[in-house]
Amino acid sequence: MTQLKFLDQPPRFLFFTGKGGVGKTSLACATAITLADAGQRVLLVSTDPASNVGQVFGMTIGNKVTSITAVPGLAALEIDPQAAAQVYRDRIVNPVRGVLPDTVVKGIEEQLSGACTTEIAAFDEFTALLVDSALTTDYDHIIFDTAPTGHTIRLLQLPGAWSDFLAEGKGDASCLGPLAGLEKQRAQYKAAVDALADSQRTRLVLVARAQQATLREVARTHEELAAIGLTKQFLVINGLFPQAETAQDPLATAIFKREQNALAAIPEVLSQLPCDHILLKPFNLVGLTALRKLLVDDLPVDGENKSSHPAIPFPSLSKLTNEIAKDGCGLIMLMGKGGVGKTTLAAAIAVNLAHRGLPVHLTTSDPAAHLSETLSGAMGNLLVDRIDPHAETERYRQRVLETKGSHLDAQGRALLEEDLRSPCTEEIAVFQAFSRIIHEAGKQFVVMDTAPTGHTLLLLDATGAYHREIAKQMDPSIVHYNTPMMQLQNPKQTKILLVTLAETTPVLEAANLQADLRRAGIEPWAWIINNSVAATTAHSPLLCQRASNELADIKTVSTMYAKLYAVVPLLQEEPVGIEKLLELSRSSQ
């Protein structure tokens, strides 16, 4: 075994949770191998929509318990959340097809198409693994790659008949209805939630990187789960840059110092958790040999023929900003998962456009974004502000409770209040605030950092919150109108830029977001691959190997997903301040 705290006397259930790209799948797989090598019987379960557990082990697993023949005592199972969600939706929607109007059925389908429903459906699949059953009796440990969110668990804890709540039309808020028709499984759900909250049986491992934004997000996750009883939590800081790799490489030195500064400023709630540090490895974490090395520090790096990596001249951010500037005005929206650098890139594009003498309004709704710190100054033609998501969400929540909730009984109001705590509620509220700004894009550039998902936009459309409501009120033969939804769907008015990293999981997550947007009739204009080692010069053997590893993911983006793309290099200094942001948006490599 190892000296790692999260592996000290491990309980039966271990959950690894964290944002895409932090390495939770690799850690879950390495932990499963470590326990199996120690003679334990282990079942590894993935509920990640972009699961690559099979790829990691070099074999096909799928939605059945499959023995990992090369590791005695280890078996794996990949639950397909999307397939589970479709079965789940069909079970709820099929009985009302032909009974309710098509428009109502379409609205119900969209209400059941979001992340909340997918999580519930996946939880529906693996609750049998959290209770005593014939399926789990042979295993000493069950390890889960990806845990349910606090919102999902609170939904499962709520009493009441969601099917009645939905059928009677009492809701119409955000993710309403993900528990419809599941009353018969309440007992099993309760047993599963009880197992999650039992620290003798369950340990939650929060996986993060040494980045300030990522650590702030993990702190929020910790507090949300602790508030509902999941208090036995451990923190793993993954992918830390080794100090030994900093010799004679300015980029490596800068990365090391940046990460140490982030750790020094770690949120207080995380500093109190048992914490392990896992060093960054130079190799891809695929195959048993690599996985067995993940939890071992001080591994030598094979520097043979890798003493230097010259920067590769990929398409640059400057080419994208040149194309954007040609339009003279328009809406520019940057979308992507947390931690990929949307705020910095939004600021760089806005500063570049303003420097050309074009009027620009830069705004964000990211609670962890600090645009003023990123800009570190003011400039002509640039208006900067921030939408407060908490204030907007509370305003929206109160409005719904005063209207939809005014005639509900206590049970119905409790269900509605929980529904209004979902991530989609915040997206809807923020989008309504954004909508007050969007119309400005006809006269100037409006650059937005952080935007709603395609599901949220479709939900707004399907429920009549915006597009349909305005369409009903306007007579197109008399009045020309342009709703926010129509503007987002118009490529002449809106350019969507998807931001990702040159790593497998973030690329898959961005691809899923693109598919989600296309379902809403919105076509992304370009992709930006941020913080690329391959796009810069490196001398550290570790960085040289990492640069080589990125090439496959960059090729995937350029050939499979993006019509236009740019690659932004990993920089020695953080691009803070107007001059550095201008340099970032102008640089060719």
Told to judge if 25 belongs to the known catalytic residues of this protein, a careful annotator would answer yes
Told to judge if 21 belongs to the known catalytic residues of this protein, a careful annotator would answer yes
Radius of gyration of the chain (CA): 24
Q: Is 418 exposed, middle or buried (0-12, 13-18, 19+ CB in 10 A)?
A: middle
- 185 Cβ contact list (under 8 Å, min separation 6): 124, 127
List 21, 114, 339, 405, catalytic entry: 21
Q: Are 202 and 230 in contact (CB under 8 A)?
A: yes
Told to judge if 26 belongs to the known catalytic residues of this protein, a careful annotator would answer yes
498: enclosing H helix or E strand = strand 494-501
Q: What does DSSP say about strands 494-501 and 526-532: parallel, antiparallel, or unpaired?
A: parallel
d(C-alpha 520, C-alpha 514), whole Å: 10
Strand intervals (E) in 327-464: 330-335, 360-364, 382-386, 445-449
List 34, 316, 505, 585, catalytic entry: 505
**Structure token digits, residue 361:** 């309004």
142: enclosing H helix or E strand = strand 141-145
Q: Which residue has the tokens 């919105």?
A: 522
Told to judge if 23 belongs to the known catalytic residues of this protein, a careful annotator would answer yes
d(C-alpha 150, C-alpha 393), whole Å: 18
Grouping H, G, I as helix, E, B as strand and the rest as coil, residue 39 is coil
**Other Cβ atoms closer than 10 A to 407:** 9
- 301 Cβ contact list (under 8 Å, min separation 6): 245, 282, 541, 542, 545
Cross-strand partners of 211: none
Q: What does DSSP say about strands 66-67 and 74-78: parallel, antiparallel, or unpaired?
A: antiparallel
d(C-alpha 52, C-alpha 80), whole Å: 11
List 23, 114, 336, 341, catalytic entry: 23
**Structure token digits, residue 191:** 């047993």
- Backbone angles phi and psi of 487, in degrees to 5: -70, -40
Told to judge if 500 belongs to the known catalytic residues of this protein, a careful annotator would answer no
List 26, 34, 214, 494, catalytic entry: 26
Going from the C-alpha of 490 to that of each of 137, 259, 430, 522, 523, the distances in angstroms are 55, 41, 21, 8, 9
Amino acid making up residue 319:
K
d(C-alpha 307, C-alpha 522), whole Å: 45
Say what the alpha-carbon torsion angle 141, 145, 148, 149 is, to the nearest 10 degrees: 130
List 17, 19, 25, 171, catalytic entry: 25
**Other Cβ atoms closer than 10 A to 574:** 13
- Backbone angles phi and psi of 107, in degrees to 5: -65, -40
Among residues 14, 1, 11, 75, the alpha carbon closest in space to that of 41 is found at: 75
List 48, 419, 449, 461, catalytic entry: 48
Told to judge if 48 belongs to the known catalytic residues of this protein, a careful annotator would answer yes
| Active-site annotation, residues | 21, 23-26, 48, 505
